[in-house]
A and B are shown apart, each in its own frame.
Chain A
């Protein structure tokens, strides 16, 4: 593997060599589009069939936490783009700074995600034997993080939804399977991305990324932005179903 950007025999110019690396990353990302696409399709079919239960499930998510995470992840894409820019214009001391900011924002995302997941475990909203969409409305004392007012809204919505879908608990579980499956795979991609960012950070401190050769920064950047795009879709699909009720 070339590390310093010398020209390989099969390429005419460094430009062509860089475009080839870039194209390779894009082809990988297209396979990722199909990977997440299949999951989105499974989500779409189930949402279509069990819409009432999906709307109920969505309304139990925290819009505050999800919205904050969206802003955090978008900001991390900006700092990543700035890291690539720093490499392109040869501002070597700025590259590690922007990479570090990107990593930090990634970890803020993980932190918020951890709080959300913990809350769902606490509320018996994790698919499995103990899944119970009515848990908090039946045991309000055990869900002290939900205010009395919010609980009233939730109870009202649960009753209305149960009237539409008698098998609400099973179908809400499908929603939560989609939620954990999609956000879990997204988080896994972010963990891989964070690993790559640490690797870039370590290398960038030695000053090897220059305007002539910064392919790793550029391609990891593409990957990070792709993970951001997945979240751009996950946020409205999971958090914003039927919020107007």
Chain B
């Protein structure tokens, strides 16, 4: 993490091998998890596993763990911006009720029922 100290950290093949085996195991796990009915949490589990895999690739294969802080900041800023895009837009869509007559799967109340409530 220290900058310009004159020696780049070299990740050993042993670590790469551990990472690739973990990635393969996580791939098996995500397939297995998809066959279990977890309701709306299936996608949560799938995304948590995918993000774990992506983090391992970024930290070790892409050496982000050993990169200067300035590079790490760029990476985190990119992920943060993506999070704004996804969270802000999806929180809008998920909180709506229906679209062109198709009921949103996450909403249990119909628009008429909601109208009666108000």
Binding site for B on A (CB under 8 A): 12-13, 15-16, 18-19, 22-23, 26-27, 29-30, 33-34, 37-38, 40-41, 44-45, 48-52, 63, 67, 70-71, 74-75, 77-78, 80-82, 85, 88-89, 165, 167, 171, 221-222, 225-226, 228-229, 232-233, 235-237, 240, 242-244
Mask of B74-118 contacts with A, CB within 8 angstroms, 1/0: 110111011001100110011000010010111000000000000
The reply to whether B6 and A13 form a contact with Cβ atoms under 8 Å apart is yes
User: Chain B contacts of A235 at CB under 8 A?
Assistant: 27, 30, 50
- Cβ-closest 10 pairs across A and B: A30-B78, A240-B34, A236-B46, A78-B20, A243-B34, A244-B37, A37-B82, A51-B105, A81-B61, A229-B54
Contact residues in A for B1 (Cβ distance below 8 Å): none
- In the assembled complex, 14 residue pairs joining A and B whose CB atoms fall closer than 8 Å, in A order, are A15-B4, A22-B67, A23-B68, A26-B71, A44-B86, A51-B105, A67-B27, A74-B27, A77-B61, A229-B58, A240-B31, A240-B46, A244-B34, A244-B35
Q: CA A81 – CA B20 in complex, angstroms?
A: 10
Minimal beta-carbon separation of B90 from chain A (angstroms): 6
| Main secondary structure on A side of the interface with B | helix
Closest B residue by C-beta to A66: B31
Does B4 contact A13, Cβ atoms closer than 8 Å?
Answer: yes
Which residues of A have CB within 8 Å of B74?
23, 26-27, 30
Contact assessment for B82 and A33 in the assembled complex, using a CB-CB cutoff below 8 Å:
yes
B71 in contact with A232 (CB, 8 Å): no
| Across-interface contacts of B90 in A (CB, < 8 A) | 41, 44-45, 48
Q: Which of A37, A51, A52, A82 contacts B13 (CB 8 A)?
A: A82
Contact A30 B77 (CB under 8 A): yes
Measured in the bound complex, the distance between the Cα atoms of B17 and A18 in whole Å is 26
User: When chains A and B are docked, how far (Å) is the Cα of A29 from the Cα of B79?
Assistant: 11
Tell me the smallest distance from the CB of A9 to a CB of chain B, in Å: 17
Residue contact A85 to B27, C-beta cutoff 8 Å: no
Q: Are A15 and B77 in contact (CB under 8 A)?
A: no
The closest CB in chain B to the CB of A23 belongs to B71
Asked whether B81 lies within 8 Å of A34 as measured between CB atoms, the reply is yes
Query: Most chain-B Cβ atoms within 10 A of its Cβ — which of A50, A77, A221?
Result: A77
For window 8-44 of chain B, which residues contact chain A by CB distance below 8 Å?
Answer: 8, 10-13, 16-17, 19-20, 23-24, 27, 30-31, 34-37, 42
Chain A nearest Cβ from B113, distance in angstroms: 19
Give the residues in chain A near B57, CB-CB below 8 Å: 77, 225, 228-229, 232
